[in-house]
Structure 1
Amino acid sequence: MRTQPDWSHVTTIREALAGASSFLREAGAKDAMFEAELLIRHTLNWDRTRFLTSMTEPIPAEAVDRLAALCQRRAENEPLQYIFGSQEFYGRPFTVGPGVLIPRPETEILVERILRKADEMWEKDSLLRVADIGTGSGAICITLACERPHWNVTTVDISADASRIAQENARLLGADIRFLLGDLVEPLVREGSRLDILVSNPPYIPSRDVDELDEEVRGFEPRLALDGGDDGLDFYRRLSQALPILLREKAIVAFEVGIHQAQAVAGLLQATGMVSETEIICDLAGIERVVMGIRK
């Protein structure tokens, strides 16, 4: 464990920023100054304007102690989102912590495309049945339920910890969602559900690559939400195999995928004979990130 420096001399915001950024830089932070600012603002519960206009103001000794503890956690590669306990997704704050994958910006593309395609295929007020497989923090299912309150949204996860965090997020954000515990679509198959939309951001990192991820990912985020089997495609195969007993006559299937996986996942969907067309959407970095199957 890295030894915490003596910050007893720190009396102002500027000195706190200098001390925290220096400590984080020595710990290997890629953007130490920015992270130090975020940690100070979190400690004091300040917005950026207040922070920038208060450099010469005194900082309480107890705040310095809290800041030192947060810097230590960050130096041990704990994700900032876990330290802060939240991550914004689609303009809403989501509680996150150990046990759930931190929502990524690229997943917003998955949600956005589902909403857009649904508006093209159904009347505005259609009462669609939607299932999100792999609840995590609830980012996908809660966003869909908030954006389309008239949809009937169900989500399934095998992790009770993830489901608990997601249910708390749904309560805080006012989303009406049915939560099920189980292995992928098995609870839906048992009850005979038929879906208009099936969405999933399943684990898709090949097993051999999980241990090569950055320490703040592999050391803190749940392996259960990362490991997609030998080639990263295990969950797409299982989900695709279930489509014949889950999809209605007109339906959308939408998956987030890893780098270089889109063509293979599109092929899995096409091989089911349950979709009439597939579409691949790139993220802002130009990476093929979302695969959609359309059944008309």
Structure 2
Amino acid sequence: MTFMNKKFSEKSKRYSYNDCWNYAFQRKKISVEAKRQKEIISICQTIPAEFWLNFSNKILTSTNYRQICQKIQQYQKNTSLAYLNKETYFYNLPFKIEKGVFIPQKDTEILLEKTVELINQYWKKSKRIKILDIGTGCGNLAICLAKISPQWQITAIDISKKALKVAQKNVQLHQAKNVKIKKSNLFHELVKNKKTVNQQQTERYNIIITNPPYISEREYKKLHFSTKQQPKKALVAKNDGYWFYEKIIQQVQQHLTKKFLLIMEVGHQQKEKVLKILIRKLPQAKVKVFLDLAGKERVIAAYKVW
């Protein structure tokens, strides 16, 4: 066979899901547990039902096959599946994601659910509610809230240009017309008139929701390699993990309406200190703590509804 014919033969060769499956599980002696099976199928850009139905007869070009094999190699080296597929799911909704942008975690769905519960309880008759999402990342919290009620006006802020770019893509993906993406270092850019920053000129919100970085440098060193693939700035905070809570709570009063809700995700051992900061800075607010899926105290709400 001539070189040209050999090259043509390689290009024209066809593969199937079966070949991808064999590559994944014969390349290394790895567990064929249900979760890993599902993730390999996800790398093939399909769903389990379609994968098994077309296991042997799905036609993949050599280019498709090579791309999938490259992803499988990266996956087996603990590269995040979300970064490989450039997609993740939060609250059963798909979100575009890219390397350098924080991947939403399942536990944060509790933060969303408790926010909606409290809004329904105390703002049931209010149609137009202004919500601020601090540190929006890929925009998952803001967009989920926007889809729950198109009448809520949501501002989603972040300091990362890359995160904001991805968040804007997700706003377009979900047609969330009531979400405004904005670059801001905490509250710095949230003023109506930049020449004067007194209380009358600052933007005010009924609800402020945030899942800020809260891992200490000491804790970061102990994290698994796969977690460290996420941007460090989205994970680690100064002052032993409390820097963002201190800054947000210190500045939040001038950005809240008289009737308000401030709700935050916290580290599982941070509840006590964050509560002390809240009580000191917002003595007029009631506080409530919620458990995550593992039964740990991970969400704190401070609110004034009278």
Of 3, 17, 30, the match for 2:21:
17
Return the alpha-carbon distance in structure 1 between the equivalents of residues 34 and 15 of structure 2: 18
Q: Contact 1:85/1:95 (CA < 8 Å) preserved in 2?
A: yes
Structure possessing the higher radius of gyration over alpha carbons: 2
One-letter code aligned to 1:245: Q
Which range is displaced more, 187-196 or 207-216?
Answer: 187-196
Unaligned 5+ segments in structure 1 are 1-9
287 and 31 in structure 1: CA distance in 2 versus 1, 3 angstrom threshold: farther
Cα offset, 1:12, TM superposition: 5.5
One-letter code aligned to 2:111: L
Q: Contact 2:20/2:69 (CA < 8 Å) preserved in 1?
A: no
Q: Contact 1:282/1:289 (CA < 8 Å) preserved in 2?
A: yes
Match of 2:52 in 1: 52
Cα offset, 1:39, TM superposition: 3.0
Check if 1:210 corresponds to 2:220.
Answer: yes
User: For 1:125-181, what per-residue CA distance to the aligned partner results, in whole angstroms no more than 9, with x for missing partners?
Assistant: 431111111010001111111112111111211111100100110011011222221
Return the alpha-carbon distance in structure 1 between the equivalents of residues 56 and 175 of structure 2: 41
Cα offset, 1:184, TM superposition: 1.0
Match of 2:250 in 1: 241
Q: Contact 1:274/1:295 (CA < 8 Å) preserved in 2?
A: no
Match of 2:36 in 1: 35
Matches within 5 A, 1:168-187: 168-175=169-176, 176-187=178-189
Of 256, 262, 274, the match for 1:265:
274
Q: Contact 2:23/2:69 (CA < 8 Å) preserved in 1?
A: no
Q: Contact 2:90/2:109 (CA < 8 Å) preserved in 1?
A: yes
Q: Contact 1:81/1:102 (CA < 8 Å) preserved in 2?
A: yes
Match of 1:198 in 2: 208
User: For 1:173-208, what per-residue CA distance to the aligned partner results, in whole angstroms no more than 9, with x for missing partners?
Assistant: 011222221211112255501111011000011112
Return the alpha-carbon distance in structure 1 between the equivalents of residues 124 and 25 of structure 2: 53
Q: Contact 2:16/2:55 (CA < 8 Å) preserved in 1?
A: yes
157 and 11 in structure 1: CA distance in 2 versus 1, 3 angstrom threshold: closer
Q: Contact 2:184/2:190 (CA < 8 Å) preserved in 1?
A: no
Return the alpha-carbon distance in structure 2 between the equivalents of residues 180 and 54 of structure 1: 44
Which range is displaced more, 168-177 or 179-188?
Answer: 179-188
Which range is displaced more, 268-277 or 247-256?
Answer: 268-277
Q: Contact 1:41/1:51 (CA < 8 Å) preserved in 2?
A: no
Give identity over the alignment, percent: 28
Check if 1:95 corresponds to 2:96.
Answer: yes
Cα offset, 1:77, TM superposition: 2.2
Q: Contact 1:194/1:248 (CA < 8 Å) preserved in 2?
A: yes
168 and 16 in structure 1: CA distance in 2 versus 1, 3 angstrom threshold: closer
Q: Contact 2:133/2:155 (CA < 8 Å) preserved in 1?
A: yes
Check if 1:75 corresponds to 2:79.
Answer: no
Return the alpha-carbon distance in structure 2 between the equivalents of residues 84 and 125 of structure 1: 39
Q: How many residues align?
A: 283
Q: Contact 1:24/1:32 (CA < 8 Å) preserved in 2?
A: no
Q: What is the TM-score normalised by the length of structure 1?
A: 0.87
Matches within 5 A, 1:145-160: 145-160=146-161
One-letter code aligned to 1:181: K
Q: What is the TM-score normalised by the length of structure 2?
A: 0.84
Return the alpha-carbon distance in structure 2 between the equivalents of residues 205 and 53 of structure 1: 44
Match of 1:229 in 2: 238
Unaligned 5+ segments in structure 2 are 1-13, 192-196
**What SS does the corresponding residue of 1:52 show, helix, strand or coil?**
helix
Which range is displaced more, 126-135 or 63-72?
Answer: 63-72
One-letter code aligned to 2:278: L
202 and 116 in structure 1: CA distance in 2 versus 1, 3 angstrom threshold: same
One-letter code aligned to 2:133: D
**What SS does the corresponding residue of 2:300 show, helix, strand or coil?**
strand
One-letter code aligned to 2:263: A
Return the alpha-carbon distance in structure 1 between the equivalents of residues 81 and 165 of structure 2: 21
